[in-house]
Amino acid sequence: MNKSEPRGYHGIDIGGSKIELVAYAETDDVLIEVHRERIATPGTDFAAFLQAMEGLIGRADAALGLRAPVGIGLPGVIDSVSGRHLSSNVPAFNGRLVVSALQQALQRPLAFGNDCQCFALSEAQGGAAAGLASMFGAIIGTGAGGGYCVDGRLLRGLNGVAGEWGHWPLPASLLQAYDLPLHACPCGRRGCLERYVSGPGMSLLHRHFGGDGEPPLAIVARAQTGSEAAARTLEIHADLLGHALASLVMAFDPHAIVLGGGLSQLSHLYEQLPGAVRRHLFAGVRVPPILPPTFGDSGGARGAALLAKQQVPRLHLPAAHQDAASTGAD
């Protein structure tokens, strides 16, 4: 592509209840927002979903003045062999070839990632970890997932699951130390970290330690007013999360860990986690800075646009190579 040609990207974040699009013009390698639109997700009607996407992107093209490549943050898990959606908070996606349907409907270069990968990329480029050689973006919200970036680029891996730490198992030593039950996970396995450290996971811990399983913010409020069950819940939760982040350090050794999702708003985590991570690392290993997000949830569409930008040299490959480019098999 000619350098003087006007360039731009659309980023789309698809959630269970809303779809957000942000259109960016690119100037001197910097993305400048020119258009933003949010619509309700047609969650149960796949044809209506495709139609809504076409309308959304058509309006964004008009605002940008060009037919731009699109990065799309998709919810749920995609079978890397069949390409079908396995589980998603958009019921219309389940069992469908969502990626190929979108490629067929939209007829332009598309890049796909999940919400955690888009979050990580957004925080790596111009966000909390801007300029660092590597970073891990860890989302802790209704679930737990993440993405790993090196030099501002997202590492995708063979299956696109690099950084899916939420489905690493909690070690038996910690299950035994705190006498925790082995919770089943929607992924089909048991004892996944997500079931203990996510928002719902913290509520389950609270119930286990004698509380009534309130949401995280209420547990924090109760701990501040002297509830022993709430204080115990926060202490154990920080230790389990510390173990998880220590494992991330051993796997990826990132220069910073940026937290995202609902639990990234809990200020006590930034005080307690460095010590908790250190307890699970051997001597001589430095704990990376654990940082709050710059963009947070609003970084999803931005990260998706950055993913399109990252993939663009590949998106313009001949058709025979398009599959590898669009699924981002880096």
Residues in contact with Zn ion by the rule CB under 5 A: 167, 185, 187, 189, 192
Q: How far is the CB of 201 from Zn ion (least distance, A)?
A: 11
In the complex, least distance from residue 122 CB atom to Zn ion, rounded to whole angstroms: 25
CB of 203 to Zn ion, least distance (A): 17
Q: Which is nearer to Zn ion, 192 or 223 (CB)?
A: 192
Select 96 or 183, whichever has its Cβ closest to Zn ion. Answer: 183
Nearer CB in complex with Zn ion: 192/258: 192
Least distance CB 169 / Zn ion (angstroms): 8
Would you say 12 or 193 has its CB closer to Zn ion? 193
Nearer to Zn ion by Cβ, of 141 and 296: the residue is: 141
The pair of structure tokens assigned to 320 is 């025979």
For residue 286, give the amino acid letter.
R
Chain position carrying tokens 């679930």: 143
Cα dist. 135→71, 122, 162 in Å? Answer: 21, 11, 13
- C-alpha 49/C-alpha 53 separation (Å) is 6
Task: Please report how close the Cβ of residue 171 comes to Zn ion at its closest, in angstroms.
Answer: 15
Instruction: Tell the smallest beta-carbon distance from residue 158 to Zn ion (Å).
Output: 19
Nearest approach, Cβ of residue 303 and Zn ion (Å): 23
Q: How does strand 153-154 pair with strand 144-150?
A: antiparallel
20/194 with CB nearer Zn ion: 194
Taking alpha carbons only, the member of 110, 74, 153 closest to residue 325 is: 110
Question: Angle 158-67-11 (CA atoms, 0-180°, nearest 5)?
Answer: 50
Give the residue with the Cβ less far from Zn ion, 52 or 251.
251
Rounded to whole angstroms, the Cα distance separating 5 from 12 reads 23
